[in-house]
Structure 1
Amino acid sequence: MLAVFFVPLVFINIGAIASPWLLFALYITSGIGMAGIGMGIMHDAIHGAYSKNQRVNKYLGYTMNLIGANATVWKIQHNVLHHTYTNIEGADDDINAPFFLRFSPHAKKNILHRFQHWYVWFFYGLSTVSWVTAKDFIRLVRYRKMGYMSKKNEFRNEIIKVTGWKLLYYSYALTIPMLTVPLAPWIIILAFLSMHFVTGLLISTIFQVAHIMPSTEFPLPDEDGLIEGDWYSHQLATTTNFAPKSSFFSWLIGGLNYQIEHHLLPNVCHVHYKKISNIVAATAREYGMPYNTKRTFAAAIRDHVGVLRKLGKMQPITTQSNLNF
C-alpha cells in the first residue's frame, strides 16, 4: 500500500507525466494506496496492534501524517471518542456530522436531510481533503477545550507538528507537481482532488456502514450521564460486520469488515479477526447477545442507504433506539 501511494507520486513529482489522463490515473491509484495505508497500516499501528513492538507501532502510525492527516488527532477522535462512546450522540465524533448530514436518530433534523441518501456520497468523497486542510486544526482546538491537551505547551507543540507535517504532505502531493508537471495548474489541482475523492469515498463508506445500519443501536445516557449495560455489550449492539467470507476484500480494507471483533479487541492485529470472529459469534449466540453481520458489502451499503433515508424523514427521538422498525 505504501508503494501504491508513493510510486505514482514519484513519477508525477519528477515531471515524467505530460498526459492529463495519465496524471489522473496516477493520482487516483495513489488515492487507493492512501486509503490502504489508512485502513491497513496506520489504523492498526495507532491502536498499538500492528506489532508487539510499540516503537514499530509508533513509527508506522506516522504513515497517517505522511498522507496529510495527524496521528495524535486521530488517536483522540478514533481510539478514545469513537471506541469508547460508539454511536452516542454528541460523544462519538464519527456521527457528529455537519448540519447537512444526519447520522443519528437523536440529532436535529432539517429539510436537507430528506435528500442525504443521494448527496452523502459526494461529501464522503470530500471528507479527506477537508481532513488534511482544516479539520485537524478544528479538532485540536475542540479537544483542548475538552481537556485532552492539558500539559504545558502541549497544544502549541501539536499545532506546530500538525502544520509541519501538512506542509510536507502538500509539498510532494501538490506543490512540486505544479512546478514540474507540464500541464495547466487547474488540471493538476483537479487530479489531486480526484485522489482525495477516491480516498474519502472508500474510507468513509467502510467506516460508516459498520455503525449506521438498521440493526445497530444509538444509546442515550440517563439523567446521570450513564449508559445502560456494560461496554462489551454496547459494542455488539452498535456495530455490524460485512462480507466476512471475502478474504481479498478483508485484506484490501485492513480487516475492517470485522468491525465487531475490532471494537471488542482493538489492540489485536486485524489479520486475526477472521478466526476470532467464530469465537465471538458463538459466544454472542450462547448469551443471547446481538451479532450483526451482512453477507456482502453491497448488502451493507444498501442497508446503510436505507438508514440514511429513514434518518432524513424521521423526527428526532429522545429514547434509546435502533432503526429496525
Structure 2
Amino acid sequence: MQYKTIRFSRTNQAEFISDLKSQVKAYFEANNISTYGNWKMVLKTVFMFTLYFAPYILMLCGVITNVWVILGMWALMGFGKSGIGLSVMHDANHGAYSRNQTVNKYLSYVMNMIGANSYIWKIQHNVLHHTFTNIEGMDEDIDPGKLMRLSPHAPRLKAHRHQHIYGWFLYGMMTFLWLTTKDFKQLVRYKKMGLMKAHKRSFSGVLTEAIVSKVLYYAYALALPLWLIPAPWYVILIGFFIMHFITGLMLGLIFQPAHVMPTSEFPVPDNSGSVENNWAVHQLFTTTNFAPGSKIFSWFVGGLNYQIEHHLFPNICHVHYKKISEIVRAKAQEYGLPYHCQKTFFDAVYEHARMLKQLGRNDQYAA
C-alpha cells in the first residue's frame, strides 16, 4: 500500500486534538514562554558534545594510554553519541530546537557527523513513523527485516521464538547498519515511493552527501584513532565497536518500548486505505510513555520517555514535555481515550521484552 492512499478518519473524535491544542497553546501563552528550546537546551548541547568529543581528544593527544581506560573512553563516547542523537539532533530534525530554522538545519546535520544521514532519517522518522505509527508496511520502526518480528501482522519465523533473548544484541548493532547499507537502501526505496519530491532534493545529491559524510566519519572516528592513539589496532576496533553498540542499544531501548508493547495497537487500513481513528487518537492507541518521575533519565534521553507528547506535538521542544503531559493526560481521560504509561524505564523494558516474546511465539498476541 502506498503512503498517499492511507487516510485517517476526520470525524472519529476529531475534536480531541483541536481542544488539546487550544489548551497547550493557552499554557504557553499564560506562562509567556516559547515552544522552542531555551538556555537549558544550550547547556545540554554543550554537555553532550563534550561527553562525545572530550574522550576522543584525550585519546588522540596521548593523554590517556592505559588500554582499559581507553576502552572506557570509547564507552563514554557511546553515551555522548546517543545523547547527541536523542537530545540535540532529534529536536533539530523536527524544527523544535530553535525558532531560527537555520540553527535547526545545521544541528540536524549532526546526524551526518555521527555516521548516518539526516535527510534520509527525517523521511523515515518524521514522515513515515510519525504519520503511520505502528502501521505495517509504512512504519519502518517496526520493520527490522526478517531477523525480528515487531508487528503482529508481519510473518512469524521459527527464529523469532527467541527474539526476546537475542533482540537486544540486534538493537546494539543498529548504528552499524547506518554506517553501511541502511541509508542507501532507504534512499532507493524513498525515491521509488516519491517521497523525495516534496523536499526538493535530488537522488544524486543525497547519495553524494551520504557517501561523503560516511567517508569523513570513518576518517575521523576510526582511521585517525588507528593512526594516533597509542594502543594496539585491535583495541581501537574493540573500542569503536563498544561505542556503536552502546549507542545502538540505547536508541533501541528508548524508541522500541514506546510503541512495541502489549498495550500497543497495530491498526490495519481497510481496502480503501482508511484508518478507523483520527490521527491524534491513533497516536494514543499506539504509543506509551515511561519513567515520568525520573528527571535525570528524562533529561538524558531528550524527553523521549514522553513519547505521547512528542508524537502529538513534535514541533514543541522536549524541555516542555513534562509540563504539557499533565494537560495531555487530563484531556485523554476527559475524552475516554487511553494514556499508556509505565512507571519506570525498567517496567517499560520488561513489558517490551514480554511483547517480543509474545510476537515471537504466537501469530496473535494477548495484551
Q: TM-score, normalised by structure 1?
A: 0.95
Map 1:1-325 onto structure 2 (within 5 A). 1-150=48-197, 154-315=202-363, 323-325=365-367
Q: Which amino acid in the other structure matches residue 99 of structure 1?
A: K
The residue matched to 1:105 in structure 2 has which SS?
coil
Figure out how many residues of one structure are paired with residues of the other and give that number. 319
- 8 Å Cα contact 2:358-2:366 kept in structure 1: no
Quote the offset at 1:152 in angstroms. 8.4
Quote the offset at 1:287 in angstroms. 0.5
Structure 1 runs of 4+ off > 6 angstroms?
Answer: none
CA-to-partner distance for each residue in 1:24-53, whole Å, 9 max, x for gaps? 111110010000000000000000001111
Q: Which amino acid in the other structure matches residue 221 of structure 2?
A: A
- 8 Å Cα contact 1:15-1:177 kept in structure 2: no
- 8 Å Cα contact 1:213-1:303 kept in structure 2: yes
Q: Which amino acid in the other structure matches residue 233 of structure 1?
A: V
Q: Distance in 1 between matches of 2:169 and 2:113?
A: 24
* Structure 2: gaps spanning 5 or more residues: 1-47
Q: Distance in 2 between matches of 1:138 and 1:20?
A: 37
CA-to-partner distance for each residue in 1:137-169, whole Å, 9 max, x for gaps? 111111111112348871101111111111111
Q: Distance in 2 between matches of 1:79 and 1:309?
A: 29
* Structure 1: gaps spanning 5 or more residues: 318-322
Q: Which amino acid in the other structure matches residue 235 of structure 2?
A: I
Q: Distance in 1 between matches of 2:315 and 2:182?
A: 26
Q: Report the counterpart of residue 320 of structure 1 in structure 2.
A: none
- 8 Å Cα contact 1:5-1:32 kept in structure 2: yes
Quote the offset at 1:13 in angstroms. 2.6
- 8 Å Cα contact 1:87-1:218 kept in structure 2: yes
- 8 Å Cα contact 1:16-1:181 kept in structure 2: no
RMSD: 1.3
Q: Distance in 2 between matches of 1:22 and 1:111?
A: 42
Provide closer, same or farther for how the CA distance between residues 267 and 153 of structure 1 changes in structure 2, counting only shifts above 3 A. Answer: closer
